[in-house]
Amino acid sequence: MGGAALVVETGVRGQVVVHACAAACASGVRCGMTLAHARALLGGMACITIPHDPAGDEAALGALARWCLRWSPRSRADPPTCVLLDISGCEHLHPGGERGLASGLAGAMRRFGLTARVAVAGTVGAAWGVAHAGPEGVTCVEPGGEREAIGALPPWALRIEPEVVGALEEIGVRTIGQVLDLPRIALPGRYGPEIVRRIDQALGDMPESVHGTAPADSPVAVLEMPGGTTRWESVAEGVKHLLAGLTVQLQGRECGVTRLEARFTRLGASPASICLGLSRPTRSRTHLWSLLRPHLERLHLGAGIEFIELRALEVMPITHEQETIPGLAPGSAREKPSFEVAQALEIVASRLGAERVRRFAHRASHRPERAWSTERALAPAGDGPGVPGAFPPRPSRMFDPPEPAEVMALCPEGPVLRLAWRDGSHGIIACLGPERIGGEWWVSREAQRDYFRVQNEQGLWLWVFRDLDSGDWCVHGVWG
């Protein structure tokens, strides 16, 4: 007769099962049971008990995530039992594409003696949910099939809090599909904003990236505080001391940190961590402390902080720059506005949240109303089209939707002589154009437009266009 293995921890109810092997689960053992109850269900089956070691488990999971870097350049441990990999652009390196990569990874886990579920999907949320609550083995979700893949899974597979899961069960919601059928507008008020964010992440309506795990030789600074301390001032001084040591390491490597993690081992409580993302590499102690301090002020110290660890999860080289030139006044050799603006953005994002601080980004689109979008202000500059320098001037203020107007022109194609707009009549003293902007046929059938820059008698410049299909005129923007 085979045996069973149980991972147990000692709590107020005695020894409680934290994890159970497949044989024990088949006998009815579940996490949260007392060890005595689990032994009764196992009957005469031999049982091996292993003390729960959360710190050891987390370290082992981190080592496994670093080992997975051979499968993808972006691999991250997601405690307690998950490793996330971003395999974008890696599938062609493996026979069979994504499924071949996933099958090879599952086989490697079996050779390690580990039981693993592997799921591949277009979003982190869908892959996490299918891996944790989906079928055994390897599952590959087809592009665009995330909603169908997670529809039959239980709500906890959205990575929402247990209290929210319990509240959903009280109204008879047992699957994610039923959650998606609920009125979206009512979800934040009843269950908090987290459920909406997790739904959007799982369906791909909100971006979610996999940050790479820190390599084994990443810059790190550790401070032990024997006996622990509950004084915030002592913890703050400890963090400053570690920042000084970390920046010295970064200076030796001629690098700056772009992602920093501060971990705090607390007496009587689970470890806490603060993770910072920066828009550009830095090794400025003052700036890093200004980012850490707001989070540190909100940190619960538990029964005392015993260990503090600062680790540079991601670093980038910092190029050498000449600060001054002999004969010139200090600061006149080069300008630093972009660096100062980046630091200001990082401080604001640290206080308000990275998702709440956004910037405008150009999109490759002919239509002016679709030629821009917003992105996180701290997001790295991508390979997008950038700001087109060859385009004619665009208004500083655009109207969405364009506002209808009546135009008097020499002929239907212009030039514009008089403009009736917003219950007023404007005499036109200057008219430049037309600039023809076509529709995007690969998106939908859209009419072409002829745009004109016109100046009224008060000196205001407006951007007006004529729809070539209907002949209607609209004001699309003004120069402030």
Question: Which of these, 359, 362, 360, lies nearest to 386 by C-alpha position?
Answer: 362
Q: What is the mean pLDDT of residues 454-472?
A: 92
Same-domain pairing of 281 and 258? yes
255-266 and 118-120: which strand pairing? unpaired
- Report yes or no on 86 lying in a domain: yes
Span 149-170, pLDDT tens digits = 999 999 999 999 889 999 999 9
Domain count, the chain: 4
d(CA 465, CA 250): 55
Share of the chain above pLDDT 70, in %: 90
Which residues is 467 bridged to in the sheet? 449
Determine the pLDDT at residue 447: 86
Same-domain pairing of 107 and 233? no
Q: Is the pLDDT of residue 381 over 60?
A: no
- Report yes or no on 375 lying in a domain: no
d(CA 78, CA 125): 12
Same-domain pairing of 43 and 64? no
Q: Is the pLDDT of residue 212 over 70?
A: no
Q: Is 368 helix (H, G, I), strand (E, B) or coil?
A: helix
Span 117-137, pLDDT tens digits = 999 999 999 999 999 998 888
- Report yes or no on 366 lying in a domain: no
Burial grade of 17 (CB within 10 A; 0-12, 13-18, 19 or more): buried
Span 246-286, pLDDT tens digits = 999 998 888 889 889 999 988 877 788 888 888 788 888 98
Q: Is 64 helix (H, G, I), strand (E, B) or coil?
A: helix
Span 385-433, pLDDT tens digits = 444 445 678 888 889 889 999 999 888 777 899 999 998 899 999 999 8
Q: Is the pLDDT of residue 69 over 70?
A: yes
- Report yes or no on 26 lying in a domain: yes
**Residue 28's CATH number:** 3.40.1170
Q: Is 255 helix (H, G, I), strand (E, B) or coil?
A: strand
Say whether pTM exceeds 0.75. Answer: no
Same-domain pairing of 78 and 12? no
Same-domain pairing of 61 and 47? no
Same-domain pairing of 60 and 192? yes
- Report yes or no on 12 lying in a domain: yes
Span 171-187, pLDDT tens digits = 999 999 999 999 988 88
Same-domain pairing of 62 and 133? yes
Stretch among 41-45, 330-334, 363-367, 438-442 having the lowest mean pLDDT: 330-334
Same-domain pairing of 25 and 114? no
Span 97-120, pLDDT tens digits = 889 999 999 999 999 888 889 999
Q: Which of 203, 234, 253 is the last residue of a domain?
A: 203
Same-domain pairing of 236 and 179? no
Identity at 305, one-letter amino acid code: I
Q: Is the pLDDT of residue 31 over 70?
A: yes
* Average of per-residue pLDDT values in the chain: 84
Determine the pLDDT at residue 214: 58
Same-domain pairing of 191 and 226? no
Same-domain pairing of 31 and 97? no
**Residue 265's CATH number:** 3.30.1490.100
Q: Which residue has the higher pLDDT, 465 or 446?
A: 465
Dihedrals phi, psi of 125, to nearest 5 degrees: -60, -45
- Report yes or no on 373 lying in a domain: no
Determine the pLDDT at residue 332: 46
Determine the pLDDT at residue 336: 47
Span 425-450, pLDDT tens digits = 999 999 998 998 887 766 667 888 99
Determine the pLDDT at residue 176: 95
Q: Domain residues for 250?
A: 220-322+337-349
Q: Is the pLDDT of residue 234 over 70?
A: yes
Identity at 290, one-letter amino acid code: S
Crossing angle for the helix pair 285-297 and 337-352, to the nearest 10 degrees: 10
Same-domain pairing of 235 and 254? yes
- Report yes or no on 214 lying in a domain: no
- Report yes or no on 344 lying in a domain: yes
Beta-carbon contacts of 393 under 8 Å, excluding residues fewer than 6 positions away, are 453, 479
